[in-house]
Each structure stands twice: as C-alpha cells, then as structure tokens.
Amino acid sequence: LEIHAPEMVVCHTMAYPYMVYYCHGTKGPSKRLYKIALDGENGERVDTVAVCHMDTSTWDRDHAAFRALGGVPRSYPVCHFLPADNLAWIPST
C-alpha cells in the first residue's frame, strides 16, 4: 500500500549509549513510502514500512546498494525497509 506523502521526515537511530536519532526531511516525488505486510515462516504477520529512493543520480557510485546490486547511480530506484526503531513522520490527511 503506497502512502501518498508529498513530504516526510525520517529519523534513524544512531549508535550511542542512549537514544539518539538522526532526522532528515524530504519533499517531492523523489521518495515513496509503502506500508507492507510480511508473513513470517511461523505464520505471524508483521506490518512494516519501506522507502523507495526514486532518484539516485546524486548518490556516490560506491554506495552499498550499488555494490550489492551491481548498478550505478540513476540506473534504478533503491528501496529498503525501515528498521523497527526508525520513524517516518508524514503530514496528516
């Protein structure tokens, strides 16, 4: 299920001995947010969030996503799940 949000703020946990978040905002169509239901091997279902970066043209050619997938900037969107301790803030509708 795509969550239509013209802008969002995403917060990632940082490696500190106490809870610290690194937050950044995005606007426009360069990112898409999805709510996804995953079925586990044990039959349990978990709802999670994925973000797709539609424009990777400004990314470093040595980014881990390109190394893992064998691509280069601008070659394709890069999507990833948000870990459970990360946050995505979107405007209310």
With tokens 């881990």, the residue in question is: 64
Q: What pLDDT does 65 receive? A: 92
Which residues of the chain are under the pLDDT cut of 50? Answer: none
What are the residue ranges spanned by the domains of the chain? 2-89
Q: From CA 66, how far away is CA 12, in angstroms rounded?
A: 21
Residue 61's pLDDT is what? 93
Tens digit of each residue's pLDDT (9 = 90 or more) over 45-70: 999 999 999 999 999 999 999 999 88
Per-residue model confidence (pLDDT) at position 93:
67
How far is residue 30's CA from residue 10's CA, in Å, rounded to a whole number? 14
pTM: 0.79
Cα distance between residue 83 and residue 13, in whole Å? 9
Other C-beta atoms closer than 10 Å to the C-beta of 53 total 16
The pLDDT value given to residue 6: 83
